[in-house]
Amino acid sequence: MAKLGLPPPPIIVDLADLPIVTLAPGTTLMRIYDPRSTYRPRPRGFRANGPRLRFDHHRGAAAGSVILPADDPDRAVYYAAFTLSGAVVEVFGDARVIERGSFRVVSSTLREAMDVLDLRADAAMRAGVLAAIGSVEQRDVTQAWARYFYETYPAVGGLLYANAHNGEDALALFERVRPVIDRARQVVIRLARPDMEERLLRIAARTGMIVV
């Protein structure tokens, strides 16, 4: 298996062939968050502290050759999926336990288009990287690529990738598209709402997870 190295790409990327996907108005994004967690996330909130997760593009705080999470006033990230199951596995997939508790699910239906860089399958190679970027464990490497894409392509609003848990499409959006998320039509409900139970149980059955 080919190894995912650090940026820049080992090839010259043809900008005319850059794999851009436009998310059209009417596209719905799903996100699950816990308003009681450390950073008090909100339905439209982008996290400015990082890097912590796969495609965090924050600059962080340097500690020798290691970049530690820190507040970055200029960079923030918003993770989302296109389906409830995609959002569920991104949040609960590692533990394999869907904890309803205080979690919320927010549906954001875009009113405006946004462009994202496609890092799935063949498109990843056209972007100069491997499709495995969505699943490798080396977060320092994937975060370096996120910073590279963010800094190299200022018109790109985020990254589209296949998540590591079940391969569904997922998004890491940069703060430059915050206005698009702010103006999206949003619906927020409790994950513990009774009418959500059947949907969560179906997801759990497909993925080998449990619901608590």
Q: Where are the domains of the chain?
A: 18-211
pLDDT digits (tens, 9 = 90+) for 105-158: 999 999 999 999 999 999 999 999 999 999 999 999 999 999 999 999 999 999
pLDDT in the model for residue 63: 85
pLDDT in the model for residue 1: 55
Is residue 150 a contact partner of residue 75, using CB atoms and an 8 Å limit?
yes
Q: In the chain, which residues have pLDDT < 50?
A: none
What would the DSSP string read from start to end of 64-116?
A: TTEEE-EE-TT--EEEEESSHHHHHHHHHTTTTEE--TT-EEEEEE-SS-EEE
